[in-house]
C-alpha cells in the first residue's frame, strides 16, 4: 500500500481501532455528527481501481473504484488496511488519504461513499455529506 506520493503509510493503517470505535459508538447512539467527525478526522484506505491497458493515471491522482448496488454507485473506502483485507481479501493496491481531503475533492454528485463496506459497522454517505467532511475536521493549532 502506498500514499498518493508513493510513500508507504505508517503502521497505524494496519489497524485503526479508535476511528472504528468512534464510528460504531456514533452509529449506536444515533449521533450523526460524531460519525461524521470520526470519518472526517481520519485517514482512509482507498483501493485503487485498475487502469485500462494502455492508459496511465496522472501522477499523484487516485483511481477511485466504483461499485454499484441497487442502482447506486459507491466508492468503497476502509478505515484501515486490516479492515480492507478482512472485508475484501481480493483487493490489492490501495493508498491512504485524508477523508476530509477526499471529501473536498469529491468528483461527482452521483457517487456515494461506502465506509468499511462488507463489515458490521459499514456505512454509506451521500455525495453532499461526503463534500461536507472538511467542515467536521478538528481545527489545527
In CATH, what number is assigned to the domain containing residue 110?
A: 3.40.1350.90
Whether 6 is covered by a domain: the verdict is: no
Domains: count for the chain: 1
Please give the angle made by the CA atoms of 33, 47 and 123, to the nearest 5 degrees: 30
8 A C-beta contact, residue 130 and residue 106: yes
Query: Which is higher by pLDDT, 18 or 77?
Result: 77
* pLDDT digit string, tens, across residues 108-136: 999 999 999 988 889 999 999 999 999 99
Structural domain contains residue 57: no
Residue 141 lies in a domain: no
pTM: predicted TM-score of the whole model, two decimal places = 0.80
Q: Which residue segment(s) compose the domain that 111 sits in? A: 11-51+64-136
Amino acid at each position: 500500500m502506498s500514499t498518493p506520493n508513493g510513500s508507504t503509510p505508517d503502521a497505524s493503517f494496519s489497524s485503526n481501532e479508535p476511528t472504528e470505535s468512534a464510528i460504531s459508538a456514533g452509529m449506536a447512539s444515533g449521533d450523526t455528527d460524531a460519525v461524521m467527525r470520526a470519518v472526517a478526522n481520519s485517514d482512509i484506505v482507498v483501493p485503487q481501481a485498475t487502469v485500462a491497458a494502455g492508459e496511465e493515471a496522472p501522477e499523484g491522482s487516485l483511481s477511485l473504484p466504483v461499485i454499484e448496488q441497487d442502482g447506486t454507485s459507491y466508492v468503497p473506502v476502509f478505515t484501515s488496511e486490516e479492515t480492507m483485507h478482512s472485508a475484501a481479501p481480493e483487493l490489492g493496491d490501495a493508498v491512504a488519504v485524508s477523508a476530509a481531503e477526499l471529501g473536498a475533492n469529491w468528483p461527482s454528485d452521483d457517487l456515494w461513499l461506502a465506509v468499511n463496506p462488507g463489515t458490521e459497522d459499514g456505512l454509506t454517505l451521500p455525495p453532499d455529506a461526503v463534500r461536507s467532511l472538511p467542515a467536521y475536521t478538528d481545527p489545527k493549532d
